[in-house]
Structure 1
C-alpha cells in the first residue's frame, strides 16, 4: 500500500517551539503510515506539485505573513482535498492580515490572560463519540486560555468557560471553542487551542486528541 504523505510546515515565533512540538507527533504520523516531509520556509506553499501529492499539512507557524502566491497555493491545496491541521498559535495566531486564510481555518486568536490558568476543557456531549475525542472525558489544563473569534460553522468538539471579568459581559457559562473541525472544499481541517508549551502537548488527553486530529484531517 502506498504511504500517505504529510508535510510539516514549521517556523515563525520560536516561543511556541515549532521544531520540538512538531517532532513530538512524528511517531504518531509514522505509526499511521505517513511519509513525513519537513519545510521551514513558507515558499513550500507555492509548490503545486508537492502540495497535490500531500495528504496532510501540519502547520506550526506563529506570526508572519503569507505572500499572495503562498496563500493561494495553500488554500487551493486544502480546497482540493489536502488536510490541514495544527494547534494553538501555529494555526490561529498567524497570517492575521490574510482574511481568506482565516476564513479557511475558521478562527482568529484575540487574547489570553497574562498568567497561565487552570481551566476545564469540556468535551461537547453531542460529539463525544467523534473519533478525535472518543473515550476522552472532560479534563483540566494549566496553560494559556485562548479567547478567539470563530466561525459558527465549525464543528466544536471541546470548549472552555472564559471568565468575562476583564470586560466581557453576559453569561459566563458560554463556552469558548477549544477543539474544532471543519470542511473546506474537499479538505478537512483540525484545530486545537492547547499547545503553548511542549508540556501542554505531552498531557495524555491533549496528546491523544491532537494526534488523532492530525490523522483525521488527512485526505
Structure 2
C-alpha cells in the first residue's frame, strides 16, 4: 500500500477541508493509506516525508518556514510526488524554493467568476492526465500565472483584452495588455526523482466536482505519485 499525505489549511475562502475531502475516497480506493495534516510541520519530518509516495496540498495564502520548505523539496527530489490545485498550490506561499518546486505562482485574476474555456493543447492530447478531455467550459476564477519553461503544459486558458472597469485594471480604457494572451492552466514537471502536478482550476467545490475537472485532478494525483 502506498502512502499519501493530505496537507490542508490557510485561507478558508478556498475551502481546504471540503475541497480535499472530495478526493479522499478516491485516494483510498486507489490503494493509498491517507494521513491528513492541518499543520505544515509534517514537511520538516524527514522520516514521514520519505515514507510518503504522494503529498496533496491545499494551503492558500500562508507562510512556510525554511525548514518546512526544505523538507518538502528534499522529499520531492527523492521521489515523493507533489500535487494540488488553484491557490492551494500556486497561491500558497512566497518562498523561492517552493516556487521552484511548483514551477508557477499566481499573480492575478479578474474580479468574480468568468465564463471561459480550458483547452487541452493538441500536441499533449494523448497525455494520460488529459486524454479524451478536449475543451472544458468553466464559470469560475481565471488565473494569470507566471510559470517555468521547464513545465510540461497540458492545458491553457486565454485572457482577452477587456474594458478596465470589468477587469479591475482601475484605469480608463482597455486592460494593460492589448492582445489576447494564453497562459498555462494545467501542467506537470519533474523535480529530481519526483513528479509535480498543478491545476489552476478549483476555487470552489463545483469546479472540482465538474466531471472533466475531477478526472483531470484525479489523474494528476495518480500521475504525480511515486512510481513503482
Q: TM-score, normalised by structure 2?
A: 0.92
Query: Can you give the 5+ residue segments of structure 2 that lack an aligned partner in the other structure?
Result: 163-168, 170-174
Q: Which residue in 1 is equivalent to 2:113?
A: 116
Is 1:163 paired with 2:160?
Answer: yes
- Cα distance, 1:94 vs. partner? 1.4
Residue 125 of structure 2: which of 101, 124, 128 is its match?
128
Secondary structure of the residue aligned to 2:115 is strand
Which residue is 1:17 aligned to? 15
State the Cα deviation string for residues 14-66 of structure 1 (Å, max 9, x = none): 11010111010112111211110000000111110000000000000001111
Aligned pair 1:48/2:46, yes or no? Answer: yes
1:117 and 1:103 mapped to 2: Cα distance? 29
Structure 1 position 150 matched with structure 2 position 157: no
Shift of 1:170: 5.0
Q: Distance in 2 between matches of 1:156 and 1:170?
A: 24
Structure 1 distance, partners of 2:223, 2:178, is 35
Larger radius of gyration: 2
Partners of 2:208 and 2:177 lie apart in 1 by 31
Matched with 1:188 is 195
TM-score (norm 1): 0.96
Q: Which runs of 5+ in 1 are unaligned?
A: none
Q: Deviations over 1:157-204 (max 9, x none)?
A: 0001112335343541x3211100000000000000000001110100
Q: Does the C-alpha gap of structure 1 residues 72 and 32 become closer, same or farther in structure 2, counting only changes over 3 Å?
A: same
Number of paired residues? 215
Runs of 4+ aligned structure 1 residues displaced above 6 Å come to none
Q: Equivalent residue of 2:18, what SS?
A: helix
Q: Root-mean-square deviation (CA), in Å?
A: 1.0
Quick one: distance in 2 between partners of 1:64 and 1:171? 33
State whether structure 2 residue 223 is matched by structure 1 residue 216.
yes
